[in-house]
Homo-oligomer: A and B are copies of this chain.
Amino acid sequence: MMQAPLVLTSFFKRAESYFARKSIISRTSPHKIHRLTYGQWAKRTRCLADALTKLGMTRGTKVGSFAWNQHRHLEAYFAVPCSGAILHMVNIRLSEEHLIYIINHAEDEILMVDVDLLPIIENIAPKLKTVKHYIIMTDEPALPKTTLQNVLSYEDLLATADEEFQFPEDIDEEAPAGMCYTSATTGNPKGVVYSHRGLVLHSIMLSMSDSMGIAERDVVMPIVPMFHANAWGLPFASVNVGATQVLPGPQFTSALIMDLIEQEKVTLTAGVPTIWIGALQEQEKKERDISSLRAICCGGSASPTRLIRTFEEKYGIPYIVVYGMTETTPIVALSNYMSWMDDWPIEKRIEARAMQGMTMAGIESSIINEAGEVPWDGETMGELRLKGPWISDEYYRDERTADAYRDGWLYTGDIAVRTEDGFIKITDRTKDLIKSGGEWISSVDLENALMTHDAVFEAAVIAMPHAKWQERPLACVVLKEGQSVTEQELLAFLENQFAKWWVPDAVVFLEEIPKTSVGKFLKAKLRDNVAEIYPKSLV
């Protein structure tokens, strides 16, 4: 067979030649929605590559992006890797300390910044050691006043660049194309480098009928940010097949999301559960026609079954739970219904849907505990390990590599069970697992159950030290506006569903649950907070 490398350039050329007439809809500010064709986008992408090359970008140069989901970001998604350089998608939600760390650690030489995010970068710029050029992405003809040095305008650069810039044809498929940093429980974020091969295979798998099935006919709206784990790979997959893309831009609301779905006839969208909880509330307030949707993909944390059921039963929209992490490009599993589930009762089907599902073709998975590989019984917990061509094999220049990457596997830190159908169900993080009297209790199962209660908006269950049982669960609950429920009522509600020893010893009611920059419960912080407001031991 020919030595034809799996590189992103082939995606770019495919979109440019076959799908030039297709559209990209890009919201860059609350006042501006751009509509451009793939043909225009492709020319602009070549211009960007030319401009960056003139600024000194060459093989292996790190170019940082600090931006929302918008078309200029999508231009960088291809202009940088197709030139043989590396796009570092900087998570805009990190603390200043962590931003300084990762930009310096990655050694970004050029930083492309959305104009509304400029103040953050101005604050940290004095501490950035490697950045030589700042490029401001703005719709305005003039650049804003800024304290930054070496500032350029994105549109000015493109205006004088060559739209026939030629990408190199000798990029190795193993060459790095992109990188993201993922938050660590303690210490600095850890860097993950994505290769062309990994991104290409991941994208193609996303287009398989049995995963997301992304196709030319789709109108894809990634709500998951492009600064977080490649926006789950949707922009790459969409370019390859020529799907219409809707990029919702900065500071969007639930109302905006629902308006875009209705107006642009979005067929596939993806985001964390918080997005869909908000979307549903918005839909109940003001009904839009969302019948164009053929699937909602949701991941990042557990989806309440009631949410899934409402979308599937009331609106007829498949709600696919996806699983992955920054280290895995990210998608490795999806909860698509298998044909043999068609005649299951609806409750059992929704239960399957809420799981992380079956691993995609190409991914090998293993769930182990002290006794070895766990049986497929839906009960026995173990740590999930992963192998595959889009699973990273190290943290970038980081000693913590040795903790996570062992024996040829990525140890995910997620505790999971596997059902007899082969579905993976995450029950906890290794660090959040509650070990009571030597037995494991799944905080995620308890949280999911609590969140089915009418009065509960969010719930997190954490381990508290206990003299006799080592650890016991404590439920932290945020109520819905205007709702009330007592601790006793909630515990009684759980008693009907779980073994007695699983039921938390107490419930505390909070205003909010602290979350990470990507919307996951920050349980370490929660434990600290609770220790303050709930000083009595559970002993």
Contacts and interface: CB of A to CB of B under 8 A. Distances in A.
Contact of A240 (B4, B361, B392): B361
A358 B361 CA distance: 25
Contacts of A2: 387-389, 391-393, 408, 410
Given A1-B197, A2-B387, A210 B241 contact: yes
A174 B173 CA distance: 14
A1 B390 contact: yes
Nearest to A342: B217
Nearest to A21: B340
- Which of A207, A210, A241, A338 gathers the greatest number of chain B CB atoms within 10 Å? A210
A193 B21 CA distance: 38
Interface in A1-55: 1-4, 6, 10-11, 13-14, 17-18, 21
Contact of A389 (B1, B13, B422): B1
A216 interface: yes
A331 to B, nearest CB: 14
Nearest to A194: B1
A84 interface: no
Contact of A339 (B205, B217, B340): B217
A208 B207 contact: yes
A488 interface: no
Nearest to A422: B18
A64 interface: no
A261 B208 CA distance: 24
B209 A358 contact: no
Interface of A: 1-4, 6, 10-11, 13-14, 17-18, 21, 174, 193-195, 197-198, 204-205, 207-210, 213-217, 240-241, 329, 336, 338-340, 358, 361-362, 364, 387-393, 408, 410, 422
B208 A17 contact: no
Contacts of A4: 362, 364, 387-389, 391
Dominant secondary structure of chain A at its interface with chain B: loop
B1 A391 contact: yes
20 contacts: A1-B198, A1-B392, A2-B388, A2-B393, A4-B364, A4-B389, A6-B389, A10-B362, A10-B364, A11-B361, A13-B364, A21-B340, A204-B205, A207-B210, A209-B215, A209-B241, A210-B215, A210-B241, A217-B339, A240-B361
Contacts of A340: 21
Given A17-B422, A216-B339, A339-B216, A1 B174 contact: yes
A201 B457 CA distance: 45
B210 A216 contact: yes
Contacts of A338: 216
Given A1-B174, A1-B391, A13-B364, 4 more contacts: A2-B391, A6-B389, A204-B208, A209-B214
Counting from the closest, the 6 A-B pairs by CB-CB distance are A209-B215, A1-B198, A209-B213, A4-B389, A207-B208, A18-B422
A191 to B, nearest CB: 14
Contacts of A209: 207-209, 213-215, 241
A537 to B, nearest CB: 44
Contacts of A204: 204-205, 208, 361-362
A365 to B, nearest CB: 10
A240 B6 CA distance: 20
A208 B218 CA distance: 13
A1 B361 contact: no
A310 B383 CA distance: 55
- Which of A1, A204, A210 gathers the greatest number of chain B CB atoms within 10 Å? A1
